[in-house]
Structures are given as C-alpha cells and as structure tokens.
A and B are shown apart, each in its own frame.
Chain A
Amino acid sequence: MKISKLSLFALLTIGAYLVLKIVVPIIGRFLHPGTWPLIPTSLLKMYMLFIIATILLYLTSKEESAKELISPIKATLTDPSKRMLRNIIFAVIPLLAAYITYSSVAPSYDAPVELRSIHPAPPSSANIYNKSYNLNSLKNPLRDDAANYAKYVKEGGEVYFKNCFYCHGDKLDGKGHFYQGFDPQPLPFMGTNTIAQLSESFVFWRVATGGPGLPKEGAPWRSAMPIWEHFLSEEEIWKVAMFIYDYSGNKPRTF
C-alpha cells in the first residue's frame, strides 16, 4: 500500500510527538523507577518545531516529492467537488487560531513557573563556622577512623532523627511529615540520583550553610533548609552525612 505524502507527514509528526510525550517518560521510568519524567512543554514545543522542519525538508527534497505533498492541499483548495471540505477547513482554522489566542490573553490564576538549580555548583571555598574551607579538598575527617565507623553512623542517625527526619523523612525519601509545606520539597536520599552524585564536602557545605547559603541559581529565598552551623557542631554534620550514605546504601562521590 502506498500512502500519500501528506498522510506520511501527519504520521511522522504524530509519531515524533508520541515518542517525546510517552516513550521518553517510559525510558525515564525504566532508568529511575517510580518516576515519570516529562519533557517540559516549552522544550517540547521547540523539539517539535525542529522535527517538523526536518520532516518537511525530507519530504520536499525532490521536486516530484514536494509536488506530491502539496497536491492534495492544492486539490482541496481548487477542486470544485471538494467545496464542502474546503468550507469546513476554512471555518475551523480561524476558530482554532482564535481559541489559541484567547487562552494566551485571558487572565488566568495559573502560577508562574519558577525554575531553580537543584545541585548548584559549589564555590571552591566557603566560610563555615568562621573558618575558610577549600571544598575541593575537604574530606570527612571521621571516615579515616574506620574502627569507629558503626558508632559514628549510629550517632549520625540520632542527629538525623532529631533534626532532619520531619522534612527528609523516616525513610529518607524526602517525605517527612512536614514535606508538603515546603517548596522546593525536601531532597530524598534514597536511590542513586541525589547524594550518590555528590561529594561529601558538598553535603557538608549544603547542610552547614542551609537554604540561605545557596547561590542565586539555587533560589536561596525559597529553600527551608535551616542554617545548620547555627544548631549543630561540625562533627555532628559529618556524622549525619555518614548516616545518610550508610542508610541509603550510597557512597560519596570521590572523583
């Protein structure tokens, strides 16, 4: 069966749209179980623009192919026997245009979208506990003391369950009983895509300086993470870092 070039154009466009809209999230779900990562609408629009342009380029690359693509459109416009269809199309397209315009000019209560960087690049050095730390070379000093590893983890757990769990969760899944009240929502530690991607000095910096210590791209005005150097000792922060890595079965990034 030979399909017309116009149908081919429609099929390819719809196919590409479905891949972006459904197949990509399915792959994402496969890579990160329990999630359904959608492509943001603005990006989707941009991809679709490029895809449509590419399909048109492909379909009009040869003279006769281009003619074939245009002929059904031309026929609809000129053929007297297709008058009815023509009238319908001529009525529908302006209505559609009016509707799209209306939905973009009508005032709506849809909140503005705010973007932020979840793991902004750390500064090379940071002032914590009135001391200057080089975050590139900073190491957890307790990790060297392997004999006391289990003790530190347990002590870190106690720090966690007095200070962190009401946001970051009893299960370290970012769903503590206060999680719903904050935006951005607390970071989960389970799985391999949060703390496993971070070095321990990054964790130390994020905990010690809290939300207000974020650079601008991290939206420090929104984060509810307290400035923990006001509440915890340095050692307590290193212990709680050891606990969250141990509990979640992750290892700090060391490269």
Chain B
Amino acid sequence: MNIKKILRLQYLLMVTLLLILSYNIAEAAKGDKEAGKKVYEKKCAWCHGWTGAGDGPAADFLNPRPRDFTSGIYKYKTSNVDNPFPYEDDIFRMISDGMTGTSMPFWKDVLSDKDRWNLVAYVKSLAGLEGEPTAKVNYGKQIGSSAESIKKGKELFIDRCSECHGDEGKGDAMKKLKDDWAGNRLWPRNLTKPWLFRVSSDPKDIYTRISAGIPGTPMPSFDDPASKKKLTEEEKWHVVNYVTSIKNEARRIKEGDTVVKAKRLAGELPKDVNDEKWKDVESTAYPLVGQIIAKERFFTPSVEEITVKAVYNDKDIAFLLEWDDRTNSIPGDAKAQELADGELNEDAVAIQLPVTIPEEMEKPYFGMGDSSHPVNVWHWKSGTTKSEQSIKVMDSTGFKNIKTRDKSNVNGKGSYNKGTWKVMMTRPLKTDNKDDMQFEEGRFTPIAFATWDGTNGEKGSKHTITTWYWILLKPPTGSKVVFIPLLVAGLVFGAELLIARSAQKK
C-alpha cells in the first residue's frame, strides 16, 4: 500500500464520519417524540396534563393557566402572519428559557439540549403539528431609539394599542378579554414593567410580538394586510422605542433592598398622594404573593408588587403606598361589575406593624401576629357607590383573633388613576393607646403589607401578602457623626507623634 492510497483511505473515512455526524445532528435537531414523551411525563404533565390538554393537577392553582398543547396554538412565535404555527426554535426557546411572570420555569439547567428537542417533537405531536413555517417576521431595518422616534411611537401607540394597553401602557383599559382555549380571562400586559414580559424585553422580541401578534389571545398581528391597523416596519420600530421608554424602574424589586426609608421633614407632611413633597422621597418595592398560609387560601393574585414611601416630622408619620391594579373596583358600579368575573369587591391595602418593637430577633408571626405578640393592621378600603373610602385599625393576635376598633386613629385617602392606586396613610408617631405601636426614630421596625384586587375575587383572607420587612425612621445625622470621627483622627495622630518621638529619641 503506498502513501497516496493511505491518504485517500483516510480521506474517505473522514467524509464518512462527517456524514454520519451531520446526519446525527440533523436527527437530533428534529427530536424524538417517544423519548420526549418520557421527559414530558416526568417534568411537564404536572401542569400541562397527561394528555397535554393543560389540565394537570397544578392547573387550577395557576394564573395564567398552563398551555393546552392539543390545540396547537402557541402564543410566542417568530413566524410571520401567514403562518399560524411557531418554529421549533420558538418552542425550544420557551422550554429552555421559561416565561417570566408565570410558573413556567427555565429548563435549560436540568434538561439537556437533546431532552428539550425531544420535548419539542412530543408537544408538536400532541396537536399533530408537522413541518416548519414558511417565513419569519420581517424585521426590516431597526430604528434606534430617539426622542423623535419615541414621539412618533407614542402617537401610534395611543391610536393602535391604548384601547387595550391603556393610555399609559399599564394594561388598565376597560375591556373584558378572553383567550381562545377555554375562554379564560386575560389581562393586557402592563408595559411599564418589562421585566415581567413573558419572552423578553429585548426590542427585537417586542417587535416580534407586534408583528406576529399573540395567537390565542386578542393581541393581533399588526402585519395583517387586511387590517386597518396595519403598521409599516418603520412604524413598528417607533412603537417598540416608545414601549421601551415607558419602563417604570421604581416598580422593580431590588434584591436585598428591604427597608422603607422614612425621611424626616422639617415642616408639614404631604397633604395628599400627589403632593410635590413625595417626589424626593426614596421608594422601596416589595414582592406580593398570594396568601397561602391560612384558610381560605388564595393562589391567583393579579397584583405582584407594591411600592412604599414614608416621611415623618415631630408629630406624625405618613406612608404612600402605590401599586399597579388594572381595575378600580367599585361595587355597585355597572361598568366595574362588567369587568369582574364574579362577585365585585372593594380594592384594599393594609400595613401590618408589631405592637411592640422587638428588642431582639423574635417578632410576631408574620401572618396576623400570634397570641404572645399582637400586631396592628391599618386596613384601607376603596369604597362602593354607596359608601366612601374607609380606614380601620385592627388589633390581631392571629388569623382567628382579629378585632376591629370602633374608632381609627389612622387617616387614609386613596386615588386611582390610569391603572395605579396611590393611598396615603397618616398617624401620630406616638399615641395614648397602649395597643398601638409607638414609632421610634433610629430603630429598625418590622413592617408588612397586603393588597386586595376586588375585581379579581379578592376579599377577606383571599389577598396578597408580604413577609416582614423593615421601616427605619432615619434620624437627622447631627453633629455626632462628624465630631466622633474627627476625635478619633486626632487621637490616632497624637499616638503617631508619640511613637515617632520615642523612636527618634533612642
């Protein structure tokens, strides 16, 4: 055998290997639905159901409900308006990265690429979907954000989008929306909180949603040539730039930021929620979750965050509580009733404080206190067509031991505007009532919050809660803070001189 021949053989071998390899890759990309079924039954069926109909044991506890794969409708796709179904890449991405703001987790940390491709093949088979779409959304030439583009985008947004997403994009418009699967209730996205966008808040992804729409929901494709609302590529980029510009960063929860930073004011406290004095006060955002610890429990809240500010002077303390709620729930109001799915209740918010500021770590139980550690609850309600807004003070030593006082020494006044509640509560720092917590400057004091969305069936024990956080009435810095470090510096310098002198003498 001569060298040439060996080389040729090697070459042949390599080509064969490459062919086998590429064939395997192509096969892997398609995924094996039988292998996918095994993974599905271990990981996915609990929510999406054993037949893929979105009816697993967890389904009733979720909002949004898990996807029904038997319908073949997929919300998030990059295929264009002519193609009702997604690319396999789109499904693969949702499995890998999950969907923010829902219970769908990202699976790329526990499932291999192969497992996830097999899942894609299996969930497609549940609706008999085959093949790939014919064309992607056309992105044209991306237009960068600028004041001019945002202005154009805003005009288009008010004209095309505000009907559902609201004048300020908080998803608060007055329309009752349903999905195409089982007529489940849907709410338009609050666009000022992009960190909760299901897929991502990347401009390209927002562009994709505007172009492809969200199948199964009332969100249309703005590429539909038959629609009067059709947008050109350029117009879509303007809308994207507007949407990314209305982000409300103050509403974003910052990990580790757990303290309400009460600021001391020299003069009068703010008069109402819109007082200019609130502007310079630092806010803290807290996550709200369903009340799942005591009967009746609540699993599907509509509000996921509350933002809190506080100020105080010699006499009083005032809180400003702000949260995005898509509906102003007014029992007795026909229009408000129309938006509710069942019974319509008042919206409400509450602050919980321990009666005694803990000296050590031990606090009252965070759910309405406990028998040896009572709590105060200030409970504001939004009122009905027949009754005004109201605020009550409650003394509680546990879920079953809540007493409402006849007279409230807390004032509360709220105002609803375009998808946001703002409620101000005021109380004297010190009171004569031994059952009241007495505020003290400079002491970390536990505080917790709760909200009720009356349109979402929230009432009584069905509401959102937080765990214990802190409030600190930060005392004015004063002269001590400057004086002590100067004294220390002086002493150290004196000691240095002494050491130097004794060293030089020797």
A111 / chain B contacts, CB cutoff of 8 Å: 258-259, 444, 470
Interface check A31, CB cutoff 8 A = no
B374 within 8 A of A: no
- Contact, CB under 8 Å: A226 / B289: no
Asked whether A219 is an interface residue with its Cβ less than 8 Å from the other chain, the reply is yes
- Knowing A162-B61, A221-B366 touch, does A106 contact B477 (C-beta < 8 A)? yes
A-B residue pairs, 10 tightest by C-beta: A181-B289, A98-B489, A98-B485, A94-B489, A178-B289, A161-B58, A161-B46, A77-B503, A102-B485, A101-B485
| Smallest Cβ-Cβ distance to B369: which chain A residue | A221
- Beta-carbon contact of A93 and B484 below 8 Å: no
Of the candidate stretches A7-15, A21-29, A43-51, A164-172, the one touching chain B is A164-172
> Which of B173-181, B214-222, B491-499 binds A?
B491-499
Task: Mark interface residues in A79-103 (1 if CB within 8 Å of B CB, else 0).
Answer: 0000000100010011101110110
Q: Is the CB of B287 within 8 A of A226?
A: no
CA separation between A202 and B354, bound complex, in Å? 31
13 contacts between A and B (CB under 8 A): A93-B492, A98-B486, A98-B488, A102-B481, A106-B477, A107-B475, A161-B56, A165-B103, A177-B102, A177-B103, A181-B466, A224-B366, A225-B293
B309 to chain A, nearest CB (A): 13
CA–CA, A158 and B485, complex, Å: 61
User: Contact between A182 and B259 (Cβ–Cβ < 8 Å)?
Assistant: no
CB atoms of A176 and B467 under 8 A apart: no
Is A212 an interface position by the 8 A CB rule? yes
- Tell me if B57 is interfacial: C-beta within 8 Å of chain A: yes
Q: Is B229 an interface residue (CB 8 A)?
A: no
Decide if B17 is an interface residue (CB 8 Å cutoff): no
A86-B500 in contact (CB<8A): yes
Is the pair A158, B489 in contact by a Cβ cutoff of 8 Å? no
Chain A 149-191: CB-based contact to B (< 8 A → 1; otherwise 0)? 0000000011011100111011101011110111100000010
Given the known interface contacts A94-B493, A109-B261, A221-B362, the answer about A161 and B57 at a Cβ–Cβ threshold of 8 Å is: yes
Residue among A78, A86, A210, A225 facing the most chain B CB atoms (10 A cut-off): A78
Residues of B within 8 A of A212 (CB): 365, 370
What are the residues of chain B within 8 A of A102 when measuring CB–CB?
A: 481, 484-485
Q: Least Cβ distance of B396 to chain A in Å?
A: 14
Binary A-proximity of B358-370 (CB < 8 A = 1, otherwise 0): 0001111111001
Is there a chain B Cβ closer than 8 Å to A62's Cβ?
no
Beta-carbon contact of B496 and A105 below 8 Å:
no
Q: Is B331 an interface residue (CB 8 A)?
A: no
What's the minimum C-beta distance from A167 to chain B, rounded to whole angstroms? 8
Contact of A224 among B104, B253, B293 (CB under 8 A): B293
A114 to B504 alpha-carbon distance, docked (Å):
50
Q: Are A99 and B485 in contact (CB under 8 A)?
A: yes
- Interface check B405, CB cutoff 8 A: no
Chain A residues near B289 (CB, 8 Å)?
178, 180-182
B114 an interface residue at 8 Å Cβ cutoff? no
Does A253 sit at the interface, judged by CB under 8 A?
no
A222 at the interface (CB under 8 A from B): yes
CB distance from B290 to the nearest CB of A (A): 7
Q: Is A112 an interface residue (CB 8 A)?
A: yes
Known interface pairs A97-B485, A112-B470; 20 further A-B residue pairs with C-beta atoms within 8 A, sorted by A's residue number:
A77-B503, A77-B504, A78-B500, A90-B493, A90-B497, A107-B475, A109-B261, A162-B58, A165-B58, A170-B105, A171-B110, A177-B103, A181-B289, A181-B467, A183-B468, A210-B293, A221-B362, A224-B366, A225-B293, A226-B292
Please tell me if the beta carbons of B467 and A220 are within 8 angstroms of each other in the complex: no
Nearest B residue to A212, CB-CB: B365
B245-275 Cβ-contact flags toward A at 8 Å (1 or 0)? 0000000010000110100000000000000
A74 interfacial contact with B, CB 8 Å: yes
- Asked if A216 is an interface residue, CB under 8 A from chain B, the answer is yes
Q: Flag whether A2 is at the interface (Cβ < 8 A).
A: no
Q: Which residues of B contact A90 (CB under 8 A)?
A: 493, 496-497, 500
B144 contacts partner chain A, Cβ-Cβ < 8 Å: no
CB 8 Å contact bits of A217-255 with B (1 = contact, 0 = none) = 001111011100011000000000000000000000000
CB-CB < 8 A to A74: which residues of B?
503
Instruction: Please state if A180 and B287 are interface contacts (CB–CB under 8 Å).
Output: yes
A161 to B42, CA, bound (A): 13
For window 99-128 of A, CB contacts with B under 8 Å fall at: 99, 101-102, 105-107, 109-112, 114-115
Which of A101, A210, A225, A230 is most buried by chain B, counting CB atoms within 10 A of its CB? A101
Q: Which residue of A lies closest to B373 (CB)?
A: A221
**Cross-chain contact of A94 among B297, B299, B496 (Cβ < 8 A):** B496
Whether A182 lies near B467 (C-beta < 8 A) is yes
Contact A158 B57, CB 8 Å, known A93-B496, A166-B103: yes
| Interchain CB contact under 8 A, A97 and B46 | no
Using Cβ atoms and an 8 Å threshold, which residues of chain A touch B362? Answer: 216, 219, 221
- Give the shortest distance, in Å, between B368 (CB) and chain A (any CB): 11
Shortest Cβ distance from residue A11 to the other chain B in the assembled complex, whole angstroms: 24
A97 & B105 in contact (Cβ 8 Å cutoff): no
A93 to chain B, nearest CB (A): 6
A105 and B484 contact, CB distance less than 8 A? yes
Query: Which of chain B's residues 277-292 have a Cβ closer than 8 Å to chain A?
Result: 287-290, 292
B455-481 CB contacts (< 8 Å) to partner A: 465-468, 470, 472, 474-475, 477, 480-481
CB neighbours of A176 from chain B (8 A): 103
Distance from B221 Cβ to chain A, minimum over Cβ atoms (Å) = 29
Shortest Cβ distance from residue B57 to the other chain A in the assembled complex, whole angstroms: 4
CA distance in complex: A109, B475 (Å): 11
Q: Is B294 an interface residue (CB 8 A)?
A: yes
Q: Mark B90-116, 1 if CB is under 8 A from A, else 0.
A: 000000000000111101011000000
A167, B500: Cα distance in complex, Å: 63
How distant is the Cα of A169 from the Cα of B365 in the complex, in angstroms?
A: 24
